[in-house]
Amino acid sequence: LSAAYAFTDFKAQGQTLENILVDIGKTCNFSLTPFNAYVALSRGKSRGQIRLLRDFEDKLFTSPPSEDLLEEDKILEVKAERTKEDYFAGKYGPPHRANAKE
């Protein structure tokens, strides 16, 4: 027996933990997304320090992204390109050389 504490994937973001026990199994209270699972599974220093509490549904990792997510990705790509163009045009400070784009 060992002392431990629990927290959500939201609370775990940005943390690196020595040993983790993760529950990504199906629940009746809420649905997990691949993002929840990624955050939970990427908190350990190595995969040898991660243990799964119970089985999980394969579709958690094999389902294609939703249409909403694909649309949001397109929006972010456009914003990233505009930000890059503004940066090299000097909008955020002195202009930068064109060859620095690469």
pLDDT tens for 19-42 read 899 999 988 788 888 888 999 999
Please name the residue ranges forming H helices in the chain: 9-12, 34-41, 59-62, 67-88
Domain boundaries, the chain: 1-63, 64-102
DSSP 50: E
pLDDT tens for 56-102 read 999 999 989 889 999 999 999 999 999 999 999 989 888 666 555 55
What is the Cα–Cα distance from 10 to 99, expressed in whole angstroms? 40
What is the Cα–Cα distance from 24 to 22, expressed in whole angstroms? 6
What is the Cα–Cα distance from 37 to 28, expressed in whole angstroms? 16
What is the Cα–Cα distance from 65 to 34, expressed in whole angstroms? 9
